[in-house]
Every structure is written in structure tokens, then in C-alpha cells.
């Protein structure tokens, strides 16, 4: 079952197909118009924008074969943020999504303590006129996050359908995420796996910690291997994360006894043995591999090592 797209604001009709008996209207509409989520149809129903046989129906209403649904989707509302022209390093872009190599220091989402220099502000300017609306709002659909100081690949959906597809791949752990981390010291092993559960630090709410499941810790899986060793001073690690907990690599590296260079939140202190002490957390999201949510083509996205991290690596050599 499928029909032509239903543009927001346009009145349309749908005759409930044969074989359907007392199915929820939002489910029937989402099946007929799969480019719009069930949440979008629930919004339309809640707003009184859906009728069955001439009468407005509620969000929980059930419909059956032969009934005529008349409906329109709410207009996409502009996000109450000002687009700001900030240069972006775009790694991939089409009409459905884009991938950006986020610079260290850039915050992803606006918040109480942020200015108009977030990634969302930059994307609103970059994508002007090409956002179809995520959740009924004209905004970029950011499906994962990077900390302010972490650089590297971040994915952004332009449409509701791409947003749902990417969110599903992240939820099902079908996106491969690889990072580079410069850590203190030298591990005794060349590789390993960490599966300690992670939760909010009970004593410092802005930090995460190893927390047992019975106290709210959630599964966190990080594979790591040594990419290059610089004596006892530092090690360049490749990390693959199979879950997406907040500060996951930072907490797992701390638990391993090898705090990421520059990560003062998790205990790093300036080291006189280093050629230069970094001014930020030396963590970089270097690679994401996934399936394009619309075309189903494989995407292998790479972000080059940023200049400050490259300089430190060369100095350590």
C-alpha cells in the first residue's frame, strides 16, 4: 500500500483499503503515506485535521475498509532560531541528508549557555530551502551527537523519512563508528574490549561514570587497539563504539587507566614529558559507515585528522 506524497497544508482524501477492519487511523495513514511518520499523522489527528466520512475523528480513532478519510498535514513551522552563515566542512550531501566534519569547539545543539554559533545555526543557513521539516518543524534532524571538544563526522537528516531511517540504524546498532584518541601512557595490551556499564556520576551531574545496572548504568561497548605508541608518554588508539553512551570513550579510557590527553574533566593533568600540552580533548570521530536511509547505497564517510591533533602526533614522533 502506498500513495503519492501528501504535502503539508494540502487537502487530500484516502479510501481505507479492503481488508482493514478497525485499525487505528494514524497507522492506516502512515502505511499509505510512508514518507510521513505516525507521529506526524498523530499531530494532524490531534489538531482536528482528519475526518472520516465527513466527521472529525480523534487521535485514537479506528477506521475500516471503505471509509473515506479527508485530511491535511499541518504546515511545517519554522524553527525559532536565526540561520547563521558559518563555514562547514561538508563530507557528503544530497537532498536527503548530509555529513559534516564538525570542528572542535562547536556545540551541536543550542542550549541555555550557547550562542548563535552552534551546528544547528550553521545548518539552518547551509540548508536554507532544502529542509522538509523534522517532526513538523523546519529543522535539521541530528540523530547523534559529538561533545563540544570532539571533532569529526556527524550525520544530519534533511527529511522526516531520512531522520527515521538514520535513527533506526543507530537504534539497531547498524552504523559503524570509529574514533581516534590520543591517550596518556601506554597500555600493556595491544587491543581489548570494554563493556562496563555507564551512567550519570552520582556526585558530579555533568560527568558520567562506570555505574552498575542496578543503579542505572546502561550497556556500553568499546573495542580499542593501539595504532601507534609514543613510549610511556602517550598512545594513539583506534576505538570502535557499538553503543552511544554520553562520554563513552572518555569514561572507558579513564577506566583503562589511560585518560585522553586534554580531558581535564576525567582526570588528565598537563604532562611535562609531552612536546606540547593540548588545549582540548584529543578525540576525533574519524569514520562512519552506514546504509543510505533512502537509496540503500553504502556510505563510508571519513573525516581527516584535525590540524591540532596532527601536529601533536608529529611532535610526539
Three-class secondary structure of residue 161 per DSSP? helix
Query: 235: part of which helix (H) or strand (E)?
Result: strand 234-241
How does DSSP classify residue 78? E
Instruction: Spell out the alpha helix ranges (H) of the chain.
Output: 25-32, 38-46, 119-126, 160-171, 248-256, 307-316
Sign of CA dihedral 244, 92, 300, 297: positive
Give backbone dihedrals phi and psi of 152, rounded to 5 degrees, phi first.
125, -165
Q: Identify whether the C-beta of residue 227 lies closer than 8 Å to the C-beta of residue 237.
A: yes
Instruction: Tell me the three state secondary structure of residue 188.
Output: coil
Q: Where are the beta strands (DSSP E) in 83-221?
A: 90-93, 97-102, 137-138, 141-142, 151-157, 176-184, 191-194, 198-200, 208-210
Residues annotated as part of the active site: 147
**Residue that has been written with the C-alpha cell 537528516 in this structure:** 157
Amino acid at each position: 500500500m502506498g500513495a503519492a506524497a501528501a504535502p503539508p497544508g494540502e487537502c487530500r482524501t484516502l479510501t481505507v483499503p479492503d481488508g482493514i477492519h478497525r485499525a487505528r487511523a494514524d497507522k492506516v495513514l502512515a502505511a499509505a503515506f510512508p514518507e510521513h511518520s505516525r507521529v506526524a499523522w498523530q499531530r494532524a489527528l490531534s489538531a482536528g485535521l482528519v475526518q472520516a466520512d465527513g466527521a472529525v475523528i480523534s487521535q485514537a480513532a479506528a477506521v475500516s475498509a471503505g471509509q473515506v478519510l479527508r485530511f491535511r498535514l499541518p504546515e511545517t513551522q519554522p524553527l525559532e532560531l536565526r540561520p547563521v552563515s558559518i563555514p562547514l566542512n561538508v563530507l557528503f550531501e544530497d537532498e536527503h541528508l548530509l555529513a559534516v566534519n564538525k570542528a572542535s569547539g562547536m556545540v551541536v545543539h543550542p542550549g541555555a549557555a550557547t550562542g548563535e554559533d552552534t551546528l544547528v545555526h550553521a545548518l539552518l543557513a547551509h540548508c536554507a530551502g532544502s529542509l522538509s521539516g523534522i517532526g513538523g518543524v523546519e529543522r535539521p534532524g541530528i540523530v547523534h551527537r559529538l561533545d563540544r571538544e570532539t571533532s569529526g563526522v556527524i550525520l544530519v537528516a534533511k527529511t522526516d523519512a531520512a531522520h527515521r531511517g538514520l535513527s533506526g540504524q543507530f537504534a539497531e546498532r547498524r552504523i559503524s563508528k570509529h574514533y581516534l584518541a590520543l591517550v596518556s601512557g601506554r597500555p600493556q595490551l595491544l587491543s581489548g574490549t570494554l563493556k562496563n556499564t555507564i551512567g550519570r556520576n552520582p556526585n558530579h551531574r555533568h560527568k558520567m561514570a562506570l555505574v552498575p545496572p542496578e543503579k542505572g548504568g546502561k550497556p556500553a561497548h568499546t573495542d580499542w587497539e593501539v595504532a601507534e605508541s609514543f613510549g610511556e608518554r602517550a598512545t594513539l588508539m583506534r576505538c570502535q563504539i557499538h553503543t552511544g553512551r554520553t562520554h563513552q570513550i572518555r569514561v572507558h579510557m579513564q577506566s583503562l587507566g589511560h585518560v585522553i590527553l586534554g580531558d581535564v574533566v576525567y582526570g588528565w593533568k598537563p604532562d611535562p614529558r609531552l612536546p606540547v600540552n593540548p588545549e582540548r580533548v584529543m578525540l576525533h570521530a574519524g569514520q562512519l559507515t552506514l546504509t543510505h536511509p533512502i537509496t540503500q547505497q553504502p556510505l563510508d564517510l571519513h573525516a581527516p585528522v584535525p590540524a591540532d591533533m596532527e601536529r601533536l602526533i608529529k611532535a610526539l614522533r
